[in-house]
Amino acid sequence: MTIKIENLSYVYMKGTPFEKKALDNINLVINDGELLGIIGHTGSGKSTLVQHMNGILKPTSGKIYIDGIDISEKKAKELRNQVGIVFQYPEHQLFEETVFKDIAFGLEKRGLKEDEIEVKVKKALKMVELSEEILSKSPFELSGGQKRRVAIAGVLVLEPRILVLDEPTAGLDPRGRDAVYELILNLHKQLNITVILVSHSMEDIARIAKRIIVMNSGNIEMDGTIEQVFKQHERLEQIGLSVPQITYLMRRLKRYVPEISDDIFTIADAKEEIIKFLTKRNIKQNN
């Protein structure tokens, strides 16, 4: 499913003394199956933008299309349901007595039969790599990472074709963050769905996304691949952002080892580059 955004603007509390323009004439195409990262500082418009994608917010002006259909039209309700959004700290939205009831909530609202609901809930739980043993537990008995997965399962159970995750690892420890990002990559690969990841972490975006949108003051400041965006470190710094810390480290290392590449944006790539350099040096020394 392709999302096309045309001339989108949004004003909070329009017509009041607190009026604020959050989005300013946004034009954007997100292609089917993309893994897109959206970055920007607090107040840049990231969350406001993604909340337009399934009609949570209505544009002040402009249009959002999914597969060529304007989602503001009544007949587009099913299309809007194809965009699932997992909000920051989604575990705060858990409220039912059991994990099963929490995941099943959206399906019950759609009027599905009990046997259908059970099959879909178990399938969603498997997608987020949790055991069926927790279905009868209270969601409030779970660890932070498990709660996050249950909340994601509550969106996946509705079988969206587009999954939006707004700061999905906020508040988690490093192990929890790694597990959630591994899960996101697996879901993207297995389900072949469009994934849109909102984050302020350059490191997380670098390891996950294939394309990056940089938001600044309600505008799209930059749009490109990981390499295209993170090579422009001076421009990013001018708007209060940065490149991943490992990139700064590799640039400093290049001062002393000119042969090494500094177009490195993840720890995994840095490790590979250093091993490659050391291997070449050892071969030269042995010869």
pLDDT digits (tens, 9 = 90+) for 54-94: 888 999 999 999 988 888 886 677 777 789 988 887 777 77
At 287 the pLDDT is 63
At 161 the pLDDT is 92
Which single residue is written with the structure tokens 């575990």? 91
pLDDT band at 214 (very low <50, low <70, confident <90, very high): very high
Q: Indicate left, alpha or beta for 150 from its phi (over 0: left) and psi (-120 to 50: alpha).
A: alpha
Which single residue is written with the structure tokens 């291997």? 279
Give Cα separations from 169 to 100, 181, 265 (angstroms). 23, 8, 19
Same domain, 196 and 263: no
Q: What beta strand segments (E) does 42-120 contain?
A: 61-66, 69-70, 83-86
pLDDT band at 172 (very low <50, low <70, confident <90, very high): confident
Same domain, 72 and 169: yes
- CATH number reported for the structural domain that contains residue 9 in this entry: 3.40.50.300
66/83 Cα distance (integer angstroms): 10
The average pLDDT across 242-262 equals 91
Same domain, 53 and 165: yes
Same domain, 221 and 253: no
Residue 49 inside a domain? The answer is yes
Same domain, 195 and 283: no
Residue 118 inside a domain? The answer is no
User: Count of domains in the chain?
Assistant: 2
Burial class (CB in 10 A: 0-12, 13-18, 19+), 279: exposed
Residue 112 inside a domain? The answer is no
pLDDT digits (tens, 9 = 90+) for 104-138: 988 888 888 999 999 999 999 999 999 999 999 99
At 151 the pLDDT is 87
Same domain, 209 and 278: no
Q: What mean pLDDT is reported for the chain? A: 89
Contact between 6 and 62 (Cβ < 8 Å): yes
Same domain, 21 and 63: yes
Is the predicted pLDDT of residue 281 greater than 70, yes or no?
A: yes
Residue 26 inside a domain? The answer is yes
241/243 Cα distance (integer angstroms): 7
Instruction: Give me the domain span that covers residue 270.
Output: 244-287
